[in-house]
């Protein structure tokens, strides 16, 4: 028998199929934790999704990454074709994490909340994608103008790989959500969501690896002086905050 706080109240049981019932434990089970630990309950405000369950750990990590980057950049002389790169990329990572956190708990939210979550997720992802593009454009312009090698470091290689995956993921999600006819209709497109989520979690790991590898670039070591453990610690906190909240049902998995 499910715990008392997961038994749907009669007021929440749908009678006209417009409102979904409270989550069933077997369908709301995250990768780690108890069923319902990271589920948006009916009528809960959307902003709670940003710190629900282990989400606060992810917020702590991404704020550490963002604030440490911005402080380091503005404590040193700014370079027009270099300084914007870490500012834009770190802000892009911040918004991408918010996009993930806002959507994860909406498995059993009412239909309106689900739509709002999807729209916020898409909007935040769209803005973060533009920030990443702008950051890449800035650093590539700097390399071209000064004749620097485009693949000078591990950070550069990871950046290219991550950028390609990011573009594919953005187009994949956009077509599934906005133009499902591309995939043969809405029903077939819905079957692809789990792959979008798998790629999304992989992309997050790539972004964090790319960000951490920046600590060993000449610019960060010679000018910014960010402590070497800052980004790895931030990345671990983000992973500990995001991944345990992944819903098994959304990934097409079921724990036996």
pLDDT in tens, 166-217: 999 999 999 999 999 999 999 999 899 999 999 999 999 999 999 999 999 9
Percent of the chain residues topping a pLDDT of 90: 67
Interatomic CA distance for residues 164 and 169, integer angstroms: 9
Q: Is residue 127 part of a domain?
A: yes
Tallying the residues shown for the chain, one arrives at 256
**What is the total count of domains within the chain?**
1
Domain assignment of residue 35, yes or no: no
Residue 227 maps to a domain:
yes
- Exposure string of 147-179, with b = 16+ CB inside 10 Å and e = fewer, is eeeeeeeebbebbeebbebbeebbebbebbbee
Which of 192-218 are b and which e, b meaning 16 or more Cβ less than 10 Å from the residue's Cβ?
A: beeeebebbeebbebbbbbbbbbbebe
In a domain, 10, yes or no: no
**What 3-state class would DSSP assign to 247?**
strand
The answer to the question of residue 159 being in a domain is yes
Instruction: Return the CATH number at 110.
Output: 1.20.120.1770
88 within a domain of the structure (yes/no) = yes
Mean predicted confidence (pLDDT) in 65-83: 95
Indicate the SS3 state at residue 29: coil
Task: Give residue 201's domain range.
Answer: 65-245
């Amino acid at each position: 028998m499910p715990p008392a706080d997961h038994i749907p109240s009669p007021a929440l049981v749908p009678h006209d199929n417009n409102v979904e019932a409270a989550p069933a434990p077997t369908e709301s089970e995250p990768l780690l934790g108890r069923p319902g630990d990271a589920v948006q309950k009916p009528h809960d405000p959307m902003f709670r999704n940003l710190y629900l369950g282990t989400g606060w750990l992810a917020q702590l990590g991404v704020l550490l990454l963002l604030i440490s980057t911005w402080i380091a950049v503005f404590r040193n002389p700014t370079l027009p074709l270099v300084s914007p790169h870490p500012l834009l990329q770190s802000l892009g990572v911040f918004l991408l994490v918010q996009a993930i956190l806002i959507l994860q708990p909406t498995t059993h939210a009412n239909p309106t909340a689900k739509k709002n979550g999807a729209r916020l997720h898409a909007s935040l992802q769209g803005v973060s994608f533009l920030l990443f593009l702008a950051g890449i454009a800035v650093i590539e312009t700097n390399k071209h103008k000064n004749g620097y090698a485009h693949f000078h470091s591990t950070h550069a290689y990871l950046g290219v790989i991550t950028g390609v995956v990011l573009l594919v993921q953005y187009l994949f999600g956009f077509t599934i959500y906005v133009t499902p006819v591309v995939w043969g209709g809405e029903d077939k497109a819905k079957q692809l969501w789990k792959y979008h989520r798998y790629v999304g979690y992989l992309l997050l790991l790539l972004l964090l690896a790319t960000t951490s590898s920046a600590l060993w670039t000449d610019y960060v070591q010679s000018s910014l002086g960010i402590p070497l453990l800052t980004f790895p610690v931030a990345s671990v906190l983000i992973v500990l905050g995001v991944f345990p909240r992944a819903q098994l049902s959304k990934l097409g998995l079921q724990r036996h």
